[in-house]
Amino acid sequence: MPITAPETNYPQRAGLARRVGAMFYDSLLVFAVGWSVTAAVIGLRVWLNGAEQLQAAGGRAATGPLLQLPLFAAMTLFFVWFWSHSGQTLGMQSWRLKLETETGELIGWRTGLCRLALALLSLICLGAGYWWILLDPRRRAWHDRWTGTRVIVLPKP
């Protein structure tokens, strides 16, 4: 039986180091988005209630659910919108990574929301869900396995 070359069309799976690099880039962007949302919420509160009330509360009026909810929504929209429209956040574009289903299609909003929640769980467990990439032969994190997704490395242009 002749020995055949490995399939070249099969996408290369992203390893842990590349994913962490993309996550670092995205964390800088999420920080900037969060800062902008915080400035907008505080500005809206000052406009509605006046600066005196904000100063009287010692700045505490700028915290709580009325700030946390817009921050959570902005972070969620950032990731799920990019994943469902192009399969890549800006950090993933820099590291030539793409998120897709196991069949190579873009994920939908439902899968994106589920994947984001599970990725946070993977991170909260001392990163165990991400360390799993080193053990899995297909380089899948917990949230990849649970949502039927994969992160691939795109070829150089």
**pTM for the full predicted model:** 0.84
- Bridge partner list, 149: 101
Q: Which residue has the higher pLDDT, 157 or 87?
A: 87
Alpha helices in 1-94 (DSSP H): 16-49, 51-56, 65-85, 90-94
What phi and psi, each to the nearest 5 degrees, are found at residue 150?
-145, 155
Please give the average per-residue pLDDT across 71-79, as a whole number: 97
What would the pLDDT profile of 17-31 be if each residue is shown by its tens digit? 999 999 999 999 999
What would the pLDDT profile of 85-97 be if each residue is shown by its tens digit? 999 999 999 999 9
Phi-psi domain of 151 (left: phi exceeds 0; alpha: psi -120 through 50; beta: other) = beta
